[in-house]
Amino acid sequence: MSPPRVSVIIPVRNGKDYLQEALDSVLQQSFTDLELLLIDDGSTDDDYDRYAVQDTRIRVIHLTGTGVSHARNVGMAQALGELLAFLDADDVWFPGKLQAQVTYFDEHPEVGVVFGKFIRWNAQPDGQFPPAIALMEDAAQFTNADPERSGWLYTRLLDGLLVGMNTAVVRRSVYEAVGGFNEAMRQGEDYDFWLKTSRVAQMHSLNGPVALYRIHTASAMYRLSEGSHLANLLHGASLRWGLSTHGGQQLAPRSFEKRLAAVYFDHAYAHYWQGNRTIARGAFWQALRRRHRPLRCLAYIVLSYLPGHTRRSTAP
């Protein structure tokens, strides 16, 4: 038998509550020439081998809790397809997503990554999520690229363009060129992967949403680290590759500083309202040095020295 055209990689660790919905969104795609690699990273909440019984296209690979980057790397290394797609175990794809992306690849052989927009899937006041079907569109209709989010994207990624991992399909040649995900990172590994990818391949976004991204307390955006991993990544990229890319595209140094300043301010704000005032103070100083919202930065710096409990604010 010939290998499948697309390999879908789903890492999971104790994710049985949402996994079936994610699997169904892949297995029910109109494009069927695929395999699904379910990477069980040391789960203890279920027997994940049972999912392979549902469909002959599912392969279950067991790991021992080595992290999402290693799980994705193992999935890519064992994948048989020429195109590699990603989905997290708590998110879902829209119908027609893969067909639209495969067709776009066929029509644009110069493109290394095809991704799309995503919709944030927020819980209702009772903690339940609205039915996915109520938020979905037929992604097969998104056959054109969004020109503002397509091309050699390195400078636009530096300036804040977001690529959702769950929306992307990557040519195997791109994975082989960049070497996968940095397994030493615990945050920002997706962004790091796209920065590296943007140096070797054109990345095109379809002109509409193709996935739902579930927002809950386990989501990456709720995880805080002492240092700003995003600021560190931006610094590292600028030192390694500079502020320009193919075709003469360049991000102005002042624009890059503004981007850094906003990143530091958001990092400071999140830590301040979590009660981590010392960490917040240092990040507010970094934003202030770059003249970002100086009055608010100064106010928060002063408040960080005062005793008392912080009360959650609604806007930075």
Q: Is the pLDDT of residue 12 over 70?
A: yes
- Global confidence as pTM: 0.91
pLDDT at 156: 97
Which neighbouring-strand residues pair with 213?
120
Give the mean model confidence (pLDDT) for residues 18-33: 97
How would residue 310 be classed by pLDDT, with cut points 50, 70 and 90?
Answer: low
The pLDDT of 125-150, averaged and rounded, is: 94
pLDDT of residue 226: 75
pLDDT band at residue 315 under the 50/70/90 scheme: low
Of the pLDDT bands very low, low, confident and very high (cuts 50, 70, 90), residue 281 is very high
Residue 33 tokens, joined:
């020439």
DSSP string, 175-213: HHHHTS--TT-SSSHHHHHHHHHHTTSEEEEEEEEEEEE
Please report the pLDDT score of residue 115 as a whole number.
98
Burial class of residue 16 in the structure, from the number of CB atoms within 10 Å of its CB (0-12 exposed, 13-18 middle, 19+ buried): middle
Counting residues of the chain whose pLDDT is more than 90, the rounded percentage is: 86
Q: What is the mean pLDDT of the chain?
A: 93
Label residue 307 by pLDDT band (50, 70, 90): confident
The pLDDT, as a whole number, for residue 229 is: 87
pLDDT the model gives residue 114? 98
Would you state the pLDDT for residue 220?
A: 52
The ranges of the chain annotated as CATH 3.90.550.10 are: 6-222
Structure tokens at 154: 């390195």
At 33, is the pLDDT very low, low, confident or very high (cuts 50, 70, 90)? Answer: very high
Is the dihedral angle over the CA atoms 148, 149, 154, 160 positive or is it negative?
positive
Token couple for 65? 């809790």
> Mean pLDDT throughout 32-46?
97
pLDDT reading at 309 higher than 60: no
74 or 307, which is more confident? Answer: 74
The closest of 265, 248, 249 to 257, measured between CA atoms, is 265
C-alpha atoms less than 13 angstroms from C-alpha of 243 in its C-beta half-sphere: 11
Task: Please check the confidence at residue 219 and state whether its pLDDT lies above 70.
Answer: no
Q: What is the pLDDT of residue 186?
A: 78
Q: Is 315 exposed, middle or buried (0-12, 13-18, 19+ CB in 10 A)?
A: exposed
Domain 6-222 superfamily per CATH: Spore Coat Polysaccharide Biosynthesis Protein SpsA; Chain A (3.90.550.10)
Count of Cβ atoms closer than 10 Å to residue 306 Cβ: 7
Q: What percent of the chain has pLDDT over 70?
A: 95
Report the candidate in 151, 152, 159, 149 with the shortest Cα–Cα distance to residue 254.
Answer: 159
Question: For the segment 221-279, what is each residue's pLDDT rounded down to a tens digit?
Answer: 455 677 788 999 999 999 999 999 998 899 999 999 999 999 999 999 999 999 999 99
**CB 113 within 8 Å of CB 201:** yes
Does 308 or 169 have the greater pLDDT score?
A: 169
pLDDT value of position 168: 98
- Region of 80 please: left (phi>0), alpha (psi -120 to 50) or beta: alpha
CA end-to-end distance (rounded Å), the chain:
56
